[in-house]
Chain A
Amino acid sequence: MTPARYRDGARRIAPIGVAAFAFALSFGVLARASGIGSVEAIVMSATTFAGSAQFAVASILGAAGGVASAIVAATLLNARYAPISVSVAPVFVGGRLRRLLESQLIVDESWAMSRRTDGRYDRRLLVGAGLVLYLCWVGGTVIGALAGDALGDPASLGLDAAFPALFLAILVPQVRSRRALAAAVLGGTIALALVPVAPAGVPIVAASAACLIGWRQR
């Protein structure tokens, strides 16, 4: 392994970094409109670093929703990070503090990007991609919260469709085995069935249970 892999992760995630930056701009603007201070919004992007949870908090607080419901909604949305972080745990190296810091670069996109087609994860790809996304996310929030948004609605640029396209492009080469295909179909079906009836976040966490079909007796 060469240090160039950090760059590989950074380079490959770059187009998604552009989309993340645009969404961070709009998060900064939406947060201000929801009564969240700019410092609070920036600190939230730097510590939480998870788009859907942050948008949920802004919309709940903006609609005068309760503190508890904002915290519960955001935590549900991020609950998927528990299984995700377990899946990449073996590739993290160094002491606990380093692992704690590097693990904060785990987001859906950096995690997906770090998965090689042989099914192993690559820490350098994850860290390289995660750093780019982190800088785009925090930088976009700073500009959006302090200076407003010159791009307008990221949805009008179709940027919300960039994320599922990334996940699908990474998923397709991975479903060559029958078990992997079964897990993907089951996970997608669980999510589809729960989207209309469960709060956001729950469908994704529930879908992760599809991996239990890989259970083997010791």
Chain B
Amino acid sequence: MSTTWIVVAAVGTATIALKSVGPVLLGGRPLPTHLTGIVALLAPALLAALVVTQVVGGDEELVLDARLVGLGAAVFAILVRAPLLVVVVAAAAATAVVRALA
């Protein structure tokens, strides 16, 4: 087996396990009550972290670039209650324009 196949198999197996751990082991049942308060806050915590890492994340460094302008466009679109499609397209378009001008 080539080294590439070893990586593909190992990463695939690990990811399948990570994605299925909740639904396979706990699926279809309500979470224990002492966990529900924690799990309810997972979405805001993780969504905020995903925004941060995808806007200013680099290779172990903070990178401030055109993505910030795209996020600004998204914030504006969200504030004026634009639909999701508009929010996403505004962010991409603003980022693309800044990169084209740079």
A-side residues, CB < 8 A to B, are: 12, 15-16, 19, 35-37, 40, 43-44, 47-50, 53-54, 57, 61, 67, 70-71, 74-75, 78-90, 92-94, 96, 99-100, 102-104, 106, 108, 112, 115, 119, 155-172, 174-175, 179-181, 183-188, 190-192, 195-200, 203-204, 207-218
Evaluate contact between B87 and A169: CB separation under 8 angstroms.
Answer: yes
**A-chain residues with CB within 8 Å of residue B88 when the two chains form the complex:** 15-16, 19, 162, 165-166, 169
- A-B pairs with beta carbons under 8 A, tally: 323
| Chain A residues with CB below 8 A from B62, complex form | 192, 195-196
Q: Which of B24-55 contact A (CB under 8 A)?
A: 24-31, 33-34, 37-55
User: In the bound complex, do residue A169 and residue B84 qualify as a contact, i.e. CB atoms below 8 Å apart?
Assistant: yes
B29: which A residues are within 8 A, CB to CB? 89-90
Residues in B whose Cβ lies below 8 Å from that of A210: 41, 45
Chain A binding surface SS class: helix
A72 to B31, CA, bound (A): 30
Are A168 and B14 within 8 A (Cβ)? no
Q: Is the CB of B4 within 8 A of A37?
A: yes
> How close is B19's CB to chain A, nearest CB, in angstroms?
5
Give CA–CA (A163, B54) in the complex, Å.
8
Q: Are A161 and B70 in contact (CB-based, < 8 A)?
A: yes
A104 CB to nearest B CB, Å: 6
A residues within 8 A CB of B59? 200
Asked if residues A71 and B92 are in contact (CB atoms below 8 Å), the reply is no
* Interchain CA distance A90-B20 in the complex, whole Å: 12
Given A86-B26, A180-B44, are A165 and B49 also a contact pair (CB < 8 Å)? no
Residues of A within 8 A of B73 (CB): 165
Which chain A residue shows the least CB distance to B58?
A195
Q: Are B44's CB and A171's CB within 8 A?
A: yes
Query: A100–B49 contact, CB under 8 A?
Result: no
CA distance A85 to B20 in the complex (A): 6
Instruction: Answer whether A89 and B27 are a contact pair too, CB < 8 Å, given A164-B50, A169-B87.
Output: yes
The 4 closest A-B pairs by CB, nearest first: A161-B70, A187-B45, A158-B95, A207-B49
Inter-subunit contact B39/A211 (CB<8 Å)? yes
User: Which B residue's beta carbon lies closest to that of A206?
Assistant: B49
User: With A187-B44, A214-B37, A215-B34 known to touch, is A165 a contact of B24 (CB < 8 Å)?
Assistant: no
User: CB-CB < 8 A to A89: which residues of B?
Assistant: 22-23, 25-29, 31
Considering only residues 61-102 of chain B, those with a C-beta below 8 Å from chain A are 61-62, 66-67, 70-71, 73-75, 77-78, 84-85, 87-97, 99-100
